Structure 1
């Protein structure tokens, strides 16, 4: 909406009066206030009542690929747009939990993670573990080191009962109706939790750095996914994805080896790879030192920051478009914009 429309809404009481500085200038708006404006003007993006919540796993069985970094930046980008987002940290390393401002060893008890949900006779759904974050529009199911026990709990439940692999899916479904997007950050290993995440998700992002080892590992991962899903399908029924995309991460465009391998990835994966990459940037490193994301950095704007922010927005905008294309209620608008 225009500044004139905002002033008119303030004048007729639909919006509160703005905060002013000592010099009489508007001080700006918080994300909560921006979302309230969106609600007043009817411009806040939402899935329609008949649209499925997108349950998106950011998954690779190899560690160090930028999985948690991507998860947190996607979540915060969507929240900035006004979507309702839940993040479920399924990894006992708890990197995502840490980035969202919690100390897993101090702030998070084992009973506040997924662990009780996987115990025999445990919690019936996941609502007990959801907590607010500093970000309006983002709730979190946190993790800590104790979550590794869930691997054993899940394996014990699976013995003689293949349906136990769908327990996480049912738990996610119990709370997903309150959100537009649910993000899952699983462990970087082929264990029970990772398999449960594959069954719970209806969309998949596969972060892959442009190195020969990571490229080969992702190719193996995709073959393994196909084989694993076929086995699970025989026992539990089919489980489809709205979309599956490979994402090149940690890309340094100043290194010819990176650009060459990324070109190879594009040739191999084709339309199943996002056109935007997550570029390696000093700003991401600076944010990590502060246990933040680039979207949370403050201070003077630099060219390095602008490049990094523009890259993140382009990448996340591509992911947002995939999400919206999965919602039937958004298709006519996307066609009108030439994006359908």
Structure 2
């Protein structure tokens, strides 16, 4: 059965994304570009006309529609900020005196759209101007694959394991890979990350003098903390040593879960385990805190009455700890993933517009809430 599935998936992957293919990000309409820039349509058109010789103006399609690459959107943002046309509210990058923020997206429960949520949030925030480093800690490497990297086709590719390994860890810059998505770099994953669990277990009995396991991720990230605004870590559905190291390096946490009774029961058990283990780790650093810990309801269907009741239950019990926006369940997400694409990479022209707009609004609302948490953590008004 494994052979049959493997051969069929390989044939499918060869058809939709050959090994020598390079993923390319689509272009964005003027309306989308204006939304990412947080500038209203009339003002954006005025800037395009006024500064046509000083900043990118996109490409005309069919004579009257203007489309922009993600790189052009960022160049426009840089120009407008440098020339005082937008302020820090629209120019999201870290300001002097603000430190890089690291948040982990984590749940012990599988099948809660954790990786899909991680990639969608990272891509939306990148389009809004943040410089983002994604870190994949899942041996299944789903996020790595979504960014067009295939560990099985490149067994010598440096991965997250190499930056936290006990035996001759690599400098993090040798592991970071640029992606086709402007504003996002990635530290890929592979099955090698499992080795870290064996190394850590043996380090206890062997009395190794290397840095303890819980501090290894933060030590690695400190090498590039000035180069990014956000680090977003995707984790496997298990409480491993690598995950604890990621949590210790984090300043925030987002916990995705489905609005079902079984998932909420699982969440309570998971939170108890996580808090007990983190309490042990935090004895090593009394100043360890999180700027925020938020729950994100995923696979949400507002027409599903049991889900509606469970989401209301969570908000009644936990209040503002639950993000006000849900990650909706949609055929648009599934259709995009069938071709190894997050939904933001699929244009609204390729599917039903209402369906597409509903998903994009969901991701946008989630990022709005996360940005509020980031703003408070940075002390912004």
TM-score (norm 1): 0.90
Q: Name the counterpart of 2:94.
A: 47
Q: Which moved more, 1:161-170 or 1:227-236?
A: 161-170
Query: Is contact 1:187-1:193 (8 Å) kept?
Result: no
- Please give the alpha-carbon distance, in whole angstroms, between the structure 2 residues aligned to 1:132 and 1:61: 29
Q: Which piece of structure 1 moves more, 314-323 or 48-57?
A: 314-323
CA offsets per residue over residues 186-238 of structure 1, 9 Å max, x none?
12111111111111111000011111121011112222222122111223433
The secondary structure found in structure 1 opposite 2:104 is strand
Corresponding residue number in structure 1 for 2:30:
none
User: What's the secondary structure of 1:262's corresponding residue?
Assistant: helix
Secondary structure (helix, strand or coil) at the match of 1:140 reads strand
SS of equivalent to 1:204: strand
Q: Is the 8 A contact 1:208 1:248 kept in 2?
A: yes
User: Residues 160 and 193 of structure 2 are in contact (CA less than 8 Å); yes or no, is this contact kept in structure 1?
Assistant: yes
Q: How far apart in 1 are the matches of 2:161 and 2:201?
A: 13
The question of whether the paired residues in 1 share the 8 Å contact of 2:48 and 2:57 is answered with: no
CA distance in 1, matches of 2:288, 2:242: 16
Residue 3 to residue 233, structure 1, CA distance change in 2 (3 Å) = same
CA distance in 2, matches of 1:305, 1:274: 21
CA distance, structure 2, for counterparts of residue 80 and residue 315 of structure 1: 14
SS at match of 2:318: helix
Show CA shifts across 1:246-305 (max 9, x none). 111111222211111111111221121111111111111111111111111122542111
Structure 1, gaps ≥5 residues long: 332-340
Within the candidate set 291, 294, 302, 2:343 is matched to 294
The counterpart of 1:174, out of the listed 210, 223, 232, is 223
Contact 1:58 1:186 in 2 (8 A): yes
Post-superposition shift, 1:164? 2.7
Shift of 1:151: 1.9
Cα RMSD (Å): 1.9
Name the counterpart of 1:312: 363
Number of equivalent positions: 326
Instruction: Kindly indicate whether residue 378 of structure 2 is the aligned counterpart of residue 327 of structure 1.
Output: yes
SS at match of 2:153: coil
Does the CA-based 8 Å contact 1:163-1:236 persist in structure 2? no
d(CA) in 1 for partners of 2:287, 2:267: 23
User: Residue 165 of structure 1 corresponds to which residue in structure 2?
Assistant: 214
The question of 1:239 aligning with 2:295 is answered no
Q: Which runs of 5+ in 2 are unaligned?
A: 1-42
Aligned counterparts of 1:26 and 1:60: Cα–Cα separation in 2: 43
3-state secondary structure, aligned to 2:231: strand
Picking from 185, 207, 227, the partner of 1:139 is 185
Q: Which residue number corresponds to residue 324 of structure 2?
A: 275
> Is contact 1:209–1:250 with CA below 8 Å preserved after alignment?
yes
1:97 is paired with a residue whose SS is helix
Aligned counterpart in structure 2 of residue 254 of structure 1, from 284, 303, 319: 303
